[in-house]
Each structure stands twice: as C-alpha cells, then as structure tokens.
Structure 1
C-alpha cells in the first residue's frame, strides 16, 4: 500500500481536507486522526479515475459503408410537417435484398442514437450532440429492409405527454391543428398518423408511445420490459423505459417488433428476450388470420374489462363509451367479455411517480448506475456538468423531476426500494387477473387530445396533460406489454364539434405479445375505427354512467 501511495502523481488535485468535505455533503464526519489517510486514499482513487478517463471508449462500430447516411440536415420550415415534427431529415437505405420491412419508411425518436446525426433530445439546454454509434434497433430495421428517413421531435428530455414542450417547436395533431399530438414520442406519432411515414420507433417510460398513439389515431405498442434492447437510447431511466413501435396497422407493428426484438449481447434487460428473429409475430398473424372460423376469430378468448381503468375522475364520458362500444364488438368476434377488478391498478401512478422522479433525477444528473449496457459517454459530456444557466433552459417538467428526485432521496431514504417492492406486488396482482382472462382492456388515455398548453408558469405548463397517464404508467412499473389500438372518435373537451381519435389499451401477460396482436388484429380487420364516432350529449352522461356502473357491479369480478 505504501508503495502505491508513493506513486501518486504530483499534479493530483486532491488536497488536505477533501475527504472530509465530501462527507459533509451527506451530513457525516470523520475521526480527525484518520483524515489524512482518507485524503491519501482519495488522491489514489482520483489517479485511477483519471486513468480510466484517458482510455479510449468502446462502442459498437456502425457499418456506414453498407448503410451510408445521406443528406443529413435540419429541415427548413418548408420541409417540416405538422408544425415541427422532424428533428433531422436524412436517408439511410435498408437492405436492398428485401426483408420483412422492405419498402417501409421509418423515423426514429430524437433520443435514439444514429451515428453522424445530431441529437437534440428535445432540448436547447446544451448543444446538439452527435453519436458515433447506432442504437441496436437502427441496425435491425435496416437489416429488415426498411429505409430510415429521419429523426422525429421528442418532448423536452422525453419528460412530457404534451407536444408543445420541445425546444425544436410544437408538434400538431394530424387530425386537428391546435391540439396536442401527445408525447413524448410526439413527432413520430404525428408523422405516422398523418401518413408521412410508415413506422416510428420510440420510447415509453410512462406512456410516451401509447399516449401519442392514442391521441393521433395510431397503433402504439410498449412490449414487455426488455423485449427490445434499450441499447443506444438516452430517453429515461432503464427501470421504467421501454423501446417500442408506432404504426398505422397492427400487421406493420408486428413486422417492426419482429425486426427489433431479441437480446443484443449488450443490454442486460433483454437477457430473457430470446434470439433476434426468433419471435415469429408476423408468421403467427398470417397463420391464424382470418382463421378457420372467419366470423368468430376470437372464439374462446376471454376479454377482461378493467373496472379501475374506466372509473376515475379523469375519464371523459365519450371516451368511456367509445371504448365500451369497441369492447362489445369483441363479442361479435366470438370472445366473451367480463368485468375485472384489480384495485392495485390505482396505486400505479403514485408508485411510478416516486420511482420515476428518483431514478429520473439521477439519470438527468448523470448518476444513474446498476445496469449493464451501452454508455453513451458523448451524451454525458455534452450535457454535464449542470449549471444554473443550462438548468434554467429545461422545461418545467424536467426541472420538476430533478427537484422532486433530490427531495425524495433526501427526505424518504429507502422509498425508491419500496416502490420496487410495491411495483412487484402490482405486477403480481395483474398476473393473477390475467390467469382468468387472455387480455385486459381499458381506455389508453382518459380523454382525447387537449388543446396545446402554453409556456407560462410551471403549473400552466402541466395543466393540459394532468391525468393522461392514469392507465399507462402502471404498466411501465409492472413491465406488462400494452398496445393502444384506435377504436373511434370522441369530441374534444373544449369544442364538441371537433372529433379526435380514441385509443383502447390492450394488456396481456409478460412475453405474451402474440396474444395482444391476435386480439388487436382481429378487431382491426373486422371494424373500421374511422367510422366509429361517439358524440354523447352532456345530458346523457349521468344516465349512461348509471347503466355502465350497474353492469360493473353485477358482472363477475376477478380479485
């Protein structure tokens, strides 16, 4: 040990009293007789850290010869769509020999690494950084024959379900200008919903795929936690975040998920995801559809209507009725429908809030740890350390995450660990319910797209999105796969002459993606969601609620 101490460099910045100063940050102190030794040990570890810092990084090398990046540019206003849906435009042509996604156009959320393409992350708190590697999903969709045509705007630090928080500009709902496209995968959902691209790959840490898909009339899928490698993503903390897909049809969604799912030998969350290309989702849909019984393709299926997903203060009556109308159609397809109660569902938002605030704050501050995966070190260097100047540029939702996370860590020691335990309890409750049903259904979002908010006070910034994730965030906690399927239209809360899309969320057991796709595909094939409109008059609401509540009370309930 003494030999090692003698090797400490003379230029080492550690000085007398530094060890004590570090401990003052957590309110403890050293025995004064030991202080010099700990300063010496701190100087030693500084030299070790400096040595690691000086080593070359080790990141996957993208095949830019096979997949060159063409004409990378920040689009002009004339090139933009739906307000400001594009972050960057470019072209990477996929496998010319074809594949499951041949001829499909793909956009990537602007938190997914593409070598050579600057990434904003929805922010202007730091200059756009440029990755030197590709996310795993990038290589996989190119190998499947798709063409990547750009990156799409994401909300500020992927920290909002609105579509006006990005520093790159507001994204408009493809069904009505002035209304939210949802977030944080706002640009991708808007571009898919408008028909500008076929597929968007995004992230979902509380509903960020399913919420914009619901508001924009898309099929949005958050698969089982870890099914798709998170390698090359910057969006959130790995405990909640999921990579997933947004498309206009269930079949396209299955094709994209087929291409991107499976372990990549990097992301430890995907250890149980199976081999790439082994999931056979498209083959499965093709083999059963239209099935031996064309008129009853879901014969024998049990659909559970989640009571807690329909009854809370946020659910808009017309949205409730639109989803219930869609559920009734399952009976025409041969399925049985029953009410299901999972009271733990109601604890999901609170558990998610604590979990996400603590882990989210640590991620934003560059202190996340505990996972084996790809570290995007260029991103960390681009945004750290935080200063008052760049922190002030963050949108209030991101600032609030940091404030909340620091406070909760300080005032509630051990609370994060408890959310992990209670999250597992909620997961087990859903698993029990799903032993009685094949899938659970509920509204994806409790109301249709709201008008855009405004950049006023922090409270004003939050108001349009309050309650949007009451049915989505819980499944980020539990890790269950969940798909948002468009099932009709309902009136805007602010203007009943404006009709906007309604999404139905379909949830099944972990690793049961095929079951969800089968149910969603059968519904989509049999019915045209664009012709389903629910414009319930205000005077009818009380009577409708009474009838539906009675149905809940007398129907079978799974504990």
Structure 2
C-alpha cells in the first residue's frame, strides 16, 4: 500500500484531538513524512515473498437449515476430510465463528465482518486437527461477542434446545446448542466473562474455561488479552482431558484426571448465591443441594467466604471496556504491547469496516466504545488502575480460599434461561438481558483460575449449572469431579427438542 501524504487539515485535526499547538505539528511534517516512509518499507519487507493463500474450502451457509432448528450452525464444511489417526480420531468439533478456521468466513456474528476469510487455522483448531479431530464447521456467536445471551447475532437468535422460546446463553451460543443436541462432540469457544460457561449451564452440558493461557489464544478474536480464554464444551466431563491434551502443549491432563477425588475439600462460596434482583432461589437451592451431594463422592463440603467475589462484576467492567476500547476499536482487534502473533489482514478488514459502516457496530459494541471513551477520558484511566489493584486483592482472596479447599462451588449463572426478547435491538438498548448472567463467571476471567460448569439438575424442566473452580493448572481435577458427579448424582438427559429425545418420548 502507498500511504498518501497527510494534508494540512489532517494535521490540524490531530492537533485538535490531542490539544497540541498546530504550528508545532506543522513544523513536524517532515519527520512525520519520514515515519510514513518507514511504514511503507515495513509493509514491503513483510509482504515480499509472502506465501500464497491456501486453496478455498467448500462451505455451505447452514444457518436456519432444515437440520438446524435452533439457528446454531453458521457454515458447514462440505468436505471435512477423513478422520485422523491421533488421540481425537473420530471426534467431531464445531468452532465459534470468532475463531479462525482456514477457508471459512469469519464473521464474528456481525454485519461488520462479512467478507473476511482466514488463510490459516487458529492455534487451537490446528492442534485438534493434528490430533485427529474432524472440524465440521463454525457456529453462531453473539454480535462481536458483546452479549452473554443469544439474541444479538446478525444471523438471528440461537434458541435453547430445552425451550425454543428461551435464550441458549452466549456468546458461544451456537456451539453449546450443537453439542447439547449431539450435532458435534466438542464445541470450541471464547470466554471473556462467561461466554462458554453461560451457554453450558443453560443448555445442560459441561463448559470449561481452562487456566488462563493453557490454550493458545492465537487466531481468536480478542477483547481484553489478560481475560480472554479459549474454552471447550462437551456433553460429558470424561471427554475433557483428551481435548485438553490435544489442545495444549501439555500432555498430562489424562494422567491428572486418573487421580481419585476422595478426601478433597469443597468450599461453597457464600457470595456466589443470593444476588439481589437476579438470583432465582430455586437455582441457589439446586446448587446447594448438589454441593452437599459431593460428600457422597468422598469430598468434605464446607462453606467459605470470599468477600471481594461480590464485587467481581464491578471490578471486571472498567478493565474489560477500557481494554476493549484499546484492543477492539483503537487497534482493530490486534491489541498492542504484546508479543503474541498479529493478524494484519484481520485487523485491516475490521478497520475498513469500522470506517465504512460504523452503523453496523452492534449496540453492545457502541455501549462499550462510547462508555469506555467517556469514562477513560473523564478519569484519565484512574478507575481502571484502581480496578487492577482490586483484581490483585480478589486473586489473593481466592488463592487463600484454595489453600483451605481444593475446589470452590457456586451457581454458574444465578437464574434460569430468560425468554428471548421480541425486539432484540431494543432489549440490548434498554435492558440488562445481554449481561445479567455474568456475576459469578466473570470473576475467574479476572483471576485466570480454571472453572467448569457442571449440569446439576433441572428446575421447571430447564437445566441448572454448578460452577467448580480449581487451582491454576488443576483443570483435570475439575473434570474428574464433574465426571464422578455425572456418574453418581446427576446425568443430564438429552434436550427434549433433539431428534433422539423426541423419538423416545
């Protein structure tokens, strides 16, 4: 690309933006031109001899097809290829559309990204492919992932397989539904504040946010890099260690999983229950009853208090929105000040879309963009700095609890799946439906501890999730507890709207 010389008007605009003497900016024009020339040389150096794009992948736009009653699929890969021979051979995977799958349009659930096609797989997708898994296609997510429900995607709402009038949870909505209904063995998603665990709880499956950094985030849409996680959805907890061994650089999860759980200590976190105006008492009761049932598996169960947990959602907000302002909007999904891989074409496509079609930014994105800009400017980042300090104190309190207990327990989300709104845009503007479910989940994005949503019962024929939190690196222990709970206490049935469930009713 040739970067045109900047006009006097553009230089004046920069001076006005930063309240700098315009005469000084004008005198710096030759130095700015030298910087511009350097940019051109860097681009030429980086693109010289660039490998050609891989051949196109044949895909079918599957959303709302005859075999997709919940609107969960986005693209199906027409020729996924023969099953591999690795440890995940014979297992099928669907991938959230905010994670790159080579040759498959990566739209982020948004009108903004309608034409970008990644030329390579995200790191996690490449790993599971090399382990023998078959990637079936991509699944619908919320618009730019700015919702924990399932009604903001440009592709339409993803409906709950237990009740199509209700939300499936999000933002990894489609993947959760496809796993719950048996269309795929695993769903790969991203989790910034609960986006894997929310839909796991509401769809009656297992959803794991692993220890921070355990699964490489390269190739996934970032929001705030210190809280972004790749997560996984599965129908059975016993399937999680194999995925973790395939998706990470470690190969010890299956070994860790084999260790027993008798004698472990479970702490029921008081602050995870009874959220004013949000908690459903029946959900709280179901989770407390399930926590007590852990004793039948050989665990000692006691109550524990983590005072700052009650403020986790507040601490999460400024870090998330100001980090998102920088990462998503100001640096075009690239972020900065990090050494992870950058994806120039992805960032350029997003930046061009932002410039050409700002009206297509979703309501949740506008809220984050406007709110973060106003609040950061009003405080000069002071409150986010305070939040980062509180984040460390919250981490320390959780670490203290995990010195006394091996696992912490609370509801995954405080309420049952809500009804889908009749007007998605107005609901996103005027209600808290996109974000009401984050109270417990977002805490562990702040601290990076592994967290697993375990189906623990039904209330009004709708699933309830119990959240298990462990020490860093002890993801497999959570899976083992979840598997023994599933075997001895509660195994969630298939949703009533799946073909298999309908045929047996």
The residue number in structure 2 matching 1:23 is 15
The residue number in structure 2 matching 1:473 is 442
Pick one of 205, 211, 215 that aligns with 1:218: 205
Relative CO higher for 1 or 2, CA cutoff 8 Å, sep ≥ 6?
A: 2
Where do 1:349-388 residues align within 5 Å?
349-367=313-331, 368-385=335-352
Distance 2:177 2:83 in 1: 28
The residue number in structure 2 matching 1:527 is 489
Pick one of 5, 25, 28 that aligns with 1:13: 5
Q: Closer, same or farther in 2 for the Cα pair 1:84/1:259, shift >3 Å?
A: same
Q: Closer, same or farther in 2 for the Cα pair 1:251/1:95, shift >3 Å?
A: farther
- TM-score computed with the length of structure 1 as normaliser: 0.82
Q: Closer, same or farther in 2 for the Cα pair 1:96/1:161, shift >3 Å?
A: closer
Distance 1:26 1:255 in 2: 52
Q: Closer, same or farther in 2 for the Cα pair 1:335/1:60, shift >3 Å?
A: farther
Where do 1:316-395 residues align within 5 Å?
316-367=280-331, 368-385=335-352, 390-395=357-362
Q: Closer, same or farther in 2 for the Cα pair 1:16/1:171, shift >3 Å?
A: closer
Does structure 2 conserve the Cα–Cα contact (< 8 Å) formed by 1:455 and 1:461?
no
The residue number in structure 1 matching 2:394 is 426
Secondary structure of the structure 1 residue equivalent to 2:154: coil
Number of residue equivalences? 487
Q: Which runs of 5+ in 2 are unaligned?
A: 494-505
Q: Which string of whole-angstrom CA distances, capped at 9 and with x for unpartnered residues, describes residues 443-477 of structure 1?
A: 00001111112324365564434420000011111
Shift of 1:319: 0.4
Q: Aligned-residue CA RMSD in angstroms?
A: 2.6
Work out which of the two has the higher radius of gyration on C-alpha atoms and give 1 or 2.
1
Alignment of 1:141 with 2:155, yes or no, is no
The residue number in structure 2 matching 1:442 is 410
The residue number in structure 2 matching 1:279 is 251
Q: Closer, same or farther in 2 for the Cα pair 1:353/1:18, shift >3 Å?
A: same
Segment drifting more, 80-89 vs 210-219: 80-89
Distance 2:451 2:50 in 1: 30
Secondary structure of the structure 2 residue equivalent to 1:529: coil
The residue number in structure 1 matching 2:41 is 51
Does structure 1 conserve the Cα–Cα contact (< 8 Å) formed by 2:273 and 2:279?
yes
Q: Closer, same or farther in 2 for the Cα pair 1:245/1:47, shift >3 Å?
A: same
Does structure 1 conserve the Cα–Cα contact (< 8 Å) formed by 2:205 and 2:455?
yes
Does structure 2 conserve the Cα–Cα contact (< 8 Å) formed by 1:17 and 1:36?
no
Q: Closer, same or farther in 2 for the Cα pair 1:94/1:349, shift >3 Å?
A: farther
Segment drifting more, 233-242 vs 213-222: 233-242
Structure 1 residue ranges (4+ consecutive) displaced by more than 6 angstroms after TM superposition: 58-64
Shift of 1:527: 2.0
Shift of 1:425: 1.6
Shift of 1:18: 5.6
Q: Closer, same or farther in 2 for the Cα pair 1:222/1:19, shift >3 Å?
A: same
Q: Which string of whole-angstrom CA distances, capped at 9 and with x for unpartnered residues, describes residues 309-359 of structure 1?
A: 012212101101110111111111121111110011112101111111111
Distance 1:348 1:503 in 2: 19
Distance 2:386 2:256 in 1: 39
Q: Which string of whole-angstrom CA distances, capped at 9 and with x for unpartnered residues, describes residues 365-388 of structure 1?
A: 142211112222222222214658
Segment drifting more, 124-133 vs 436-445: 124-133
Q: Which runs of 5+ in 1 are unaligned?
A: 1-8, 262-275, 292-297, 492-498, 532-559
